[in-house]
Each structure stands twice: as structure tokens, then as C-alpha cells.
């Protein structure tokens, strides 16, 4: 949810207050605490305070006050919460971590939401099929450095970027590389150098499809140069998401204007949920039906919205 949309909610709060007589009554109408309403109102002058309020609370108040936004709305799903936790932990603890999970699971959405919260000293690059030089040249403008004129060696480019992060070490900078599975093999050389120079001083999060894990593990198995080093530096662990359970799908439907619980169930079943065995306490497991591809959910919701619009116009 953008700050513009949050401002719309705050404006709706003022209108509701005039109608109901007090903000306490508005809070009761929205089924949230008066403190939440106060936080929302106080954030107008300092939008950074809005980041402390969960997205689901904004959505709850917006629905109660009949505030409807245009465009696709982001719901606070299990995968979104997991991504926010991974990114926050990595940033706070200066960790080098990898998230490897199938396409359409909400990884990029999680990154976008995190960056939209104006996290200072966080730098985000959406990778393509780049070799090391291309990665470095595309990283330079992201960190606010103009490409040096003339012929510049690869080693010089590396050092320019590493020196930049060293200069920011006191504020624990973070580098997010999305779609890392697209990078060519040579790009891992930079990540090794970056770790060697910046361990415990910054965080780096590699995000990609399941091909990210497959590519690195294959490189390790075939003893390709650099692959064992890079897997070691990122803890030899690949963070996995879960998928969207029924509650998540219902939240996506609701925040986008579909409140009929029968349609929620229909859309959930249509998206072909799979059964997963999930650990709940490190030992015991529970079975849960989840939809792994958020794009499938989005298409189904948009189709139902189009139907609703057609019926409304008839």
C-alpha cells in the first residue's frame, strides 16, 4: 500500500469522525484500537511512522470506511510476511542469505514492499543475464556513482563498489539482488570479493527461482571455480517460502474487492492448491493446502472482478 493510499485512508478517518462524533467511535466501527487510528493520523506529518502499522490494519480500516483503491492491491500473505522477516533479519544482522523458490511466489513483491518502506541504505538491483562487468556497471547508478570515463578494468569497478559499501559500513548497508538465477557464472566472483571485504559490515540477499539453488549446487558438484566458495559464504542454506493458504487467498480477494466467501473458495480450488508438510516446532509437521503461484490467483481474481463490472453495468 502506497503513502498516497494511506493518505486516502486518513482522509476517510476525518470524514468518519465528523459523522460519528469522535475518533474512538471510528476505531470501534473499524474494529481496531484508538491507538491505531491515532498512529495513522499522526503519520501524515511523518510518513515513516506509518511503516510501524501492519498492512492488514490499513486494509481493515480502508474496508470498514469503504475506501476503494484503483489497481491491484497487495495483501499481507504468509509469503509476504516471510519475505519481510528474511529481509529485515538480514539487514539488521549483516547476513549473506539466499532465497530460492519458484516463480510467481511473491518474492519480488516482498522486495518491492520492503523498498517502498523507504529503508535507508538499502540498494535493489533486478538482475538479467549479466556477466560480472555488466552486473557492476548496472550496480553503479543504483548506488549513485557515475561510471568512470575511459577504459576501466574489471578490478577497478569492483574496488569502486566495494569502497562505496565500506564508506557505508557504519550504517549497515544492504544489497538485494533479485532474479539472481539469471546471472552468468562470472558474476559470482564479485560476490565472493564483496563478502571477503564486507563480512559482518553489510548484508546481501540473493533472490531467485529454484534455478538459483540448482545452478550453485551443480557448480559445487562439478567443482566449478567459485561455486563452493559462494555457497559457503551464503551459509549453504536456501530459504524457502510456503505458498498461499486459503486465508491468504481470501485476503487477496477481499482487499481487491471480492468479499463473497464462496468466490474465495472457488478461486482457491481453481488455483490447484498442493498439500505441503510443514514443520511447526522443529519436529512435528502439519499438512496444509497452499497455492504456490500468485500469478494464478491474480488472474482468477481479475477475471471475477471483470465479471462483477459487467454485471453491474448491465
Structure confidence at residue 62 (pLDDT): 86
Do both 213 and 313 map to the same domain? no
Structure confidence at residue 118 (pLDDT): 63
Do both 252 and 232 map to the same domain? no
CATH code, domain with 88: 3.40.50.300
Cα–Cα distance, 30 to 220 (Å, whole number)? 54
Cα–Cα distance, 86 to 59 (Å, whole number)? 23
Range of the domain at 297: 243-314
pLDDT per position as a tens digit, 270-282: 999 999 888 777 6
Do both 100 and 234 map to the same domain? yes
Do both 110 and 137 map to the same domain? yes
pLDDT per position as a tens digit, 160-215: 999 999 999 999 999 999 999 999 999 988 999 999 999 999 999 999 999 999 99
Of 211, 206, 183, 204, which Cα lies nearest the Cα of 103?
Answer: 211
C-alpha dihedral over 61, 65, 71, 74, to 10 degrees? 10
DSSP letter at 168? T
Do both 82 and 222 map to the same domain? yes
Does the pLDDT at position 154 exceed 50? yes
DSSP letters, 78-145, are HHHHHHHHHHHHHHHHT-EEEEE--TTSSHHHHHHHHHHTT-TTEEEEE--S--HHHHHHHHHHHTT-
Do both 283 and 231 map to the same domain? no
Mean pLDDT over residues 12-22, rounded? 87
Average of per-residue pLDDT values in the chain: 90
DSSP letters, 294-312, are HHHHHHHHHHHHHHHHHHH
Do both 187 and 301 map to the same domain? no
Write down the pTM of the prediction. Answer: 0.79
Query: What value does the CA radius of gyration of the chain take, rounded to a whole number of Å?
Result: 22
Does the pLDDT at position 248 exceed 90? yes
The answer to whether the beta carbons of residues 13 and 23 sit under 8 Å apart is yes
Do both 234 and 113 map to the same domain? yes
- Ranking 35-39, 118-122, 275-279, 286-290 by mean pLDDT, the lowest is 118-122
Do both 7 and 44 map to the same domain? yes
Cα–Cα distance, 269 to 290 (Å, whole number)? 10
CA distances from 265 to 219, 261, 290, 300 (A): 43, 6, 12, 12
CATH code, domain with 66: 1.10.260
3-class secondary-structure state, position 225: coil
* Final residue in a domain of this structure, among 54, 70, 86: 70
Do both 105 and 206 map to the same domain? yes
The answer to whether the beta carbons of residues 107 and 274 sit under 8 Å apart is no
Specify the number of domains making up the chain: 3
pLDDT per position as a tens digit, 59-104: 889 888 878 776 788 888 999 999 999 999 999 999 999 999 999 8
* Final residue in a domain of this structure, among 70, 98, 131: 70
Query: Residue 310: pLDDT band by 50, 70, 90 thresholds?
Result: low
Q: Taking every pair of C-alpha atoms in the chain, what is the biggest distance, in angstroms?
A: 71
Structure confidence at residue 18 (pLDDT): 86
CB atoms within 10 A of CB 81: 16
Do both 131 and 196 map to the same domain? yes
Do both 171 and 134 map to the same domain? yes
* Final residue in a domain of this structure, among 203, 222, 239: 239
Amino acid at each position: 500500500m502506497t503513502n498516497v493510499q494511506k493518505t486516502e485512508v486518513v482522509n476517510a478517518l476525518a470524514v468518519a469522525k465528523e459523522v460519528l462524533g469522535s475518533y474512538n467511535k471510528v476505531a470501534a466501527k473499524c474494529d481496531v484500537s484508538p491507538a491505531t487510528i491515532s498512529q495513522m493520523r499522526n503519520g501524515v506529518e511523518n510518513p515513516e511512522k506509518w511503516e510501524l502499522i501492519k498492512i492488514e490494519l490499513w486494509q481493515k480500516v480502508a474496508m470498514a470506511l469503504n475506501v476503494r483503491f484503483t489497481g491491484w492491491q497487495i495483501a499481507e500473505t504468509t509469503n509476504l510476511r516471510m519475505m519481510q522477516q528474511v529481509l529485515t533479519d538480514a539487514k539488521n544482522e549483516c547476513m549473506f542469505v539466499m532465497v530460492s523458490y519458484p516463480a510467481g511466489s511473491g518474492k519480488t513483491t516482498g522486495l518491492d514492499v520492503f523498498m517502498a518502506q523507504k529503508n535507508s541504505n538499502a540498494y535493489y538491483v533486478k538482475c538479467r543475464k549479466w556477466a560480472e562487468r555488466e552486473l557492476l556497471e548496472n550496480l553503479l547508478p543504483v548506488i549513485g556513482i557515475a561510471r568512470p570515463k575511459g577504459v576501466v578494468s574489471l578490478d577497478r569497478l569492483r574496488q569502486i563498489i566495494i569502497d562505496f559499501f565500506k564508506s557505508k559500513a557504519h550504517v549497515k548497508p544492504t544489497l538485494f539482488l533479485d532474479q539472481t538465477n539469471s546471472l552468468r557464472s562470472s558474476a559470482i566472483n564479485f560476490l565472493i570479493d564483496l563478502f571477503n571485504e564486507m563480512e559482518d559490515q553489510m548484508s546481501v540477499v540473493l533472490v531467485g527461482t529454484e534455478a538459483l539453488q540448482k545452478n550453485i549446487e551443480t557448480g559445487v558438484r562439478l567443482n566449478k571455480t567459485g561455486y563452493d566458495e559462494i555457497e559457503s559464504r551464503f551459509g549453504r542454506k536456501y530459504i524457502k517460502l510456503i505458498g498461499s493458504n486459503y486465508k491468504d487467498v481470501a485476503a487477496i480477494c477481499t482487499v481487491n474487492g471480492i468479499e463473497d466467501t464462496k468466490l474465495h473458495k472457488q478461486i482457491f480450488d481453481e488455483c490447484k492448491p498442493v498439500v505441503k508438510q510443514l514443520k511447526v516446532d522443529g519436529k512435528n509437521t502439519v499438512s496444509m493446502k497452499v497455492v504456490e503461484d500468485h500469478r494464478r490467483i491474480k488472474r482468477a481474481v481479475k477475471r471475477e472482478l471483470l465479471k462483477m463490472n459487467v454485471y453491474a453495468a448491465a
